[in-house]
Amino acid sequence: MSNLKQLSHQITQTHTVFQQQAAQSVNRLLTVRNWLIGYFIVEFEQHGEDRADYGAQLITTLARQINQRGLGATNLKLARQFYKSYSFLEAVIKKEIAGLVPDKKSQLPTDLLLITNNQKLVISQSLTDPFKMMPNYPKNLLQKVSFTHFVELLKIDDEVKRQFYEWLVIKTTLSVNELKHKINTLTYERAGLSLEPHDAVQKIQHEIMPQTPSEAIKSVYLFDFLNITTQTLVEEKELETALLNHLQQFILELGNGFCFEARQKRILIDEQYYFADLVFYHRILKCHVIVELKVDAFKHEHLSQLNTYVAYYNHEVKEPADSPAVGILLCTEKGEKLVEYATAGMDNQLFVSKYLLQLPNKEALKSFIEKEMKLWN
């Protein structure tokens, strides 16, 4: 090794390779776990001795009885749907289970040991003809498609369309966000109209870069699987982290009845997770206060996002005796500092005035942002 730059490059490359391998390994085991959970649920629904006692309430009852993070009713339903749509993964799933106990001295439950002993689980679904041409298609699915990808794929009812996007992920290593974008922009429909679909896939491959380790790792399902705290789920720039830390303390020190409730509060809307930066409860106003910080110039979508969180709290969290939730949006840029309240448009102007009397005024928040930004300039 001739110089420090080469040493740095070698260490960085080694770290990246092993980080990617670790993420892929955990994602693969998460997929295996969810497939097996789905299998056990379907098997019980078909053959369980007391299945009639639960009926439509089976998933809810099961989630309550399990009472474990990452195994709530939503995820159990998802596992059942995943198994039904991907039962043809049986052979590769069994190999993965067998690989967990190479010395055959296993602590696995009896049901899993039976599976490794060639118990027939399902009648495998047939793959659509174009995909039979791909060697080791189920193996590629398990190894190259994360469970978070599968969550998006399961939203597609048409089997051929879903398999097209499976194939696209395998061939072009789409990240989850890139997969969502391809689905939303009708890539399947447009490729189907092309005389040369293969050329379309090559074009897509040239447009994207392979997903980074951080994209592979940043998955709500993966972090639930590893039992890591919610705060760890959100990657933040150093500046944003510092601002949020200070902002939380700043608002509490203002008094006026603020009670801290949550940081990076996870919100589930339409089977997708979102995160509110800071959530307080105001004991005088009797309402939730949601604060969003954007280390960026003001954009319309920032306010739209905050209003979504406010509407969610009003609909899902607010108690009958509570007042409507309010949102505070703070945006920063090198030039103008902008502070916005998401109370604009509320019908009762007196109510808004009451809110603004108790909440920190805009000038105080603006001064706080300016002071904090000077520390980083």
pLDDT digits (tens, 9 = 90+) for 131-155: 544 568 888 899 889 999 999 999 9
Quote the pTM value: 0.65
- β pairing state of 258-269 and 287-294: unpaired
pLDDT higher than threshold 60 for residue 223: yes
pLDDT tens, 12-41?
777 777 777 777 788 888 999 999 889 888
Average pLDDT of 8-13?
76
Which run of H or E residues covers position 253? helix 238-253
State both tokens at 1: 């090794």
pLDDT tens, 300-323?
888 888 889 999 999 999 999 998
pLDDT higher than threshold 80 for residue 184: yes
Angle (CA) 236 238 244, round 5°: 70
pLDDT attached to residue 81: 94
Residue pair 79/45 in contact (Cβ under 8 Å)? The answer is no
Share of the chain above pLDDT 70, in %: 70
Angle (CA) 174 125 219, round 5°: 30
pLDDT tens, 354-367?
666 677 777 788 78
State both tokens at 266: 């996870």
Please tell me which residue, 163 or 22, carries the higher pLDDT value: 163
CA distances 135 to 24, 132, 329, Å, are 20, 7, 51
Cα separation, 142 vs 221, whole angstroms: 16
pLDDT tens, 42-65?
888 887 767 666 777 888 888 888
pLDDT tens, 241-277?
777 888 888 887 776 788 999 888 889 888 788 899 9
**Ramachandran assignment for 146, one of left (phi > 0), alpha (psi -120 to 50 degrees), beta (any other):** beta
Mean of per-residue pLDDT scores for the chain = 76
* 85-94, 160-169, 181-190: range with lowest mean pLDDT: 181-190
Average pLDDT of 324-339?
75
pLDDT higher than threshold 80 for residue 11: no
pLDDT higher than threshold 90 for residue 86: yes
Q: Domain ranges for the chain, please list them.
A: 4-226, 232-374
pLDDT attached to residue 123: 37
Task: Assign 121 a pLDDT band (cuts: 50, 70, 90).
Answer: very low
> Long-range contact list for 163-168, CB < 8 A, 24+ apart?
163/127, 163/128, 163/130, 163/131, 164/188, 164/191, 166/131, 166/141, 167/131, 167/134, 167/201, 168/201, 168/204
Nearest to 344 by CA among 336, 333, 335, 353: 353
pLDDT attached to residue 376: 58
Average pLDDT of 218-222?
70
Which run of H or E residues covers position 262? strand 258-269
Please tell me which residue, 117 or 229, carries the higher pLDDT value: 229
> In 154-196, which residue ranges form alpha helices assigned H by DSSP?
159-172, 176-184, 187-193
Task: Assign 349 a pLDDT band (cuts: 50, 70, 90).
Answer: low
**Ramachandran assignment for 338, one of left (phi > 0), alpha (psi -120 to 50 degrees), beta (any other):** beta
Residue pair 319/286 in contact (Cβ under 8 Å)? The answer is no
pLDDT attached to residue 110: 54
Nearest to 287 by CA among 349, 359, 368, 346: 359
State both tokens at 13: 């490359």
pLDDT tens, 235-245?
445 667 777 88
DSSP string over 17-62? HHHHHHHHHHHHHHHHHHHHHHHHHHHHHHH-TTGGGTGGGHHHHH
Backbone angles phi, psi at 327, to 5 degrees: -120, 145
Select, from the ranges 49-53, 142-146, 189-193, 291-295, the one with the highest average predicted confidence (pLDDT).
142-146
Residue pair 221/28 in contact (Cβ under 8 Å)? The answer is no
Backbone angles phi, psi at 275, to 5 degrees: -135, 120
pLDDT attached to residue 159: 86
Please tell me which residue, 228 or 306, carries the higher pLDDT value: 306
pLDDT higher than threshold 60 for residue 112: no
CATH 1.20.950 fits 232-374, yes or no: no
- The dihedral built from the CA positions of residue 40, 44, 50 and 53, taken in this order, carries a sign that is positive
